[in-house]
């Protein structure tokens, strides 16, 4: 029996075709065109036949079967979303559902913002796998590394460049960078003074720089930029904090408010030299690491 393709395998196969046809400098990926052409060739009896925007209250995107009498599937995105990057990742996410899950879920999917934005499996392995596919297809790791080296000291402009290159959100680009960087860094997404979720790079996690959001709400520091909004210029700012604000060591905080200003994205950069002992073997882990096994973290 043939083993089903993994999310990475599907993304790598399509990436190989795109590289062969268009060359390596071919971004951003045109998801509607790729979905139509690829599925028509690979699944001529059951392809994607429609990709369109519509009013989807409470949802970012959906995968649905064609009406009776027609073969195929459709992808819908919420046309009230203003961010092109968020739309593009949503389309890739739903394309991933088609390739990975349509047979097991013949009624399709409706995916909310959290399903597409959060890259852990708290909302289920199915959503996690669709995000894995989307990240690998839109932001191939070899190309991303050419934009930002693993040892590079980043700023928001560098990550914003990648977000523009791949037509993804700033959160998606930051998560992709966190997956391979050798720097100690933590992404914090907050709203109304509390952390919604957080993600640490491997070097930061190993030195105890993480937030255990699974235990309950965590209040953000009163000196942080999401609280001190008077320091923001055009919705973003950077600041150097001393020890005791975010962690027990100095931190450089870079914060930007998301498109609809309903949450803040803060990237925390710490010095390379750990200020405390490594927790590599038995540290208490954050939500992401509790939910996603070690073998699957390489996907990001």
User: Is there a domain that residue 1 lies in?
Assistant: no
Residue 257: the pLDDT is 87
User: Which of helix, strand or coil describes residue 46?
Assistant: coil
d(CA 64, CA 95): 11
Please count the CA atoms within 13 angstroms of the CA of 29 that sit on its side-chain side.
31
User: Which of helix, strand or coil describes residue 282?
Assistant: coil
Same domain as 273, residue 170: yes
Neighbours of 53 (CB within 10 A): 15
Residue 214: the pLDDT is 81
Angle 94-164-254 (CA atoms, 0-180°, nearest 5)? 105
d(CA 162, CA 6): 25
Same domain as 147, residue 127: no
Same domain as 290, residue 169: yes
Each residue's pLDDT, cut to its tens digit, for the chain (300 residues) gives 457 899 999 999 999 999 999 998 899 999 999 999 999 999 999 999 999 999 988 889 999 999 988 999 999 999 998 889 999 999 999 999 999 999 998 988 888 766 665 555 445 788 889 999 999 999 999 999 999 999 999 999 999 999 999 999 999 999 999 999 999 999 999 999 999 999 999 999 999 999 998 888 899 999 999 999 888 888 899 999 999 999 999 999 999 987 565 789 999 999 996 544 444 434 444 433 443 333 333 333
Residue 285: the pLDDT is 43
Residue 14: the pLDDT is 98
Residue 115: the pLDDT is 60
Residue 120: the pLDDT is 53
Same domain as 277, residue 251: yes
Residue 180's contacts (CB-CB under 8 Å, 6 or more residues apart) are 141, 144, 145, 150, 300
- Quote the tokens at residue 62: 């959906």
Same domain as 276, residue 199: yes
d(CA 117, CA 120): 9
Neighbours of 142 (CB within 10 A): 9
- Quote the tokens at residue 218: 């965590």
Task: Count the domains in the chain.
Answer: 2
Domain boundary among 117, 138, 159: 138
Show the domain range for 63. Answer: 7-138
Residue 53: the pLDDT is 96
Same domain as 128, residue 15: yes
User: Is there a domain that residue 2 lies in?
Assistant: no
d(CA 63, CA 237): 38
Same domain as 278, residue 158: yes
Neighbours of 212 (CB within 10 A): 14
User: Is there a domain that residue 38 lies in?
Assistant: yes
Same domain as 146, residue 131: no
User: Which of helix, strand or coil describes residue 47?
Assistant: coil
Pairing outcome for strands 73-78 and 48-54: parallel
Same domain as 293, residue 243: yes
Helix 31-42 and helix 84-101, axial crossing angle in degrees, nearest 10: 10
Same domain as 196, residue 50: no
The model's pTM is 0.85
User: Is there a domain that residue 182 lies in?
Assistant: yes
pLDDT in tens, 108-150: 888 876 666 555 544 578 888 999 999 999 999 999 999 999 9
């Amino acid at each position: 029996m043939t083993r089903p393709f993994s999310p990475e395998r599907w993304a790598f196969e399509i990436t190989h075709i795109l590289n062969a046809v268009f060359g390596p400098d071919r971004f951003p990926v045109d998801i509607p065109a790729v979905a139509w052409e690829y599925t028509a060739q690979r699944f001529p009896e059951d392809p994607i036949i429609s990709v369109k925007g519509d009013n989807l209250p409470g949802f970012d995107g959906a995968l649905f079967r064609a009406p009776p009498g027609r073969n195929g599937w459709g992808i819908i995105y919420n046309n009230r979303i203003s961010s092109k990057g968020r739309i593009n990742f949503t389309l890739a996410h739903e394309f991933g559902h088609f390739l990975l899950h349509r047979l097991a879920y013949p009624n399709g999917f409706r995916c909310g913002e959290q399903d597409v934005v959060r890259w852990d499996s708290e909302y289920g392995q199915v959503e996690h796998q669709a995000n894995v596919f989307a990240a690998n297809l839109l932001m191939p790791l070899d190309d991303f590394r050419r934009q930002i080296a693993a040892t590079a000291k980043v700023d928001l402009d560098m990550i914003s460049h990648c977000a523009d290159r791949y037509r993804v959100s700033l959160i998606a680009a930051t998560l992709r960078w966190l997956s391979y960087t050798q720097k100690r860094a933590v992404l914090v997404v907050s709203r109304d003074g509390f952390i919604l979720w957080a993600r640490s790079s491997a070097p930061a996690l190993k030195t105890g720089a993480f937030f255990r959001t699974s235990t309950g709400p965590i209040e953000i520091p009163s000196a942080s930029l999401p609280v001190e909004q008077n320091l923001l210029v055009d919705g973003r700012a950077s600041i150097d904090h001393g020890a005791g604000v975010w962690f027990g060591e100095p931190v450089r905080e870079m914060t930007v408010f998301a498109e609809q200003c309903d949450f803040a994205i803060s990237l925390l950069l710490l010095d390379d030299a750990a200020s405390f002992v490594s927790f590599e073997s038995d540290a208490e882990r954050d939500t992401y690491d509790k939910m996603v096994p070690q073998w699957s973290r390489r996907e990001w």
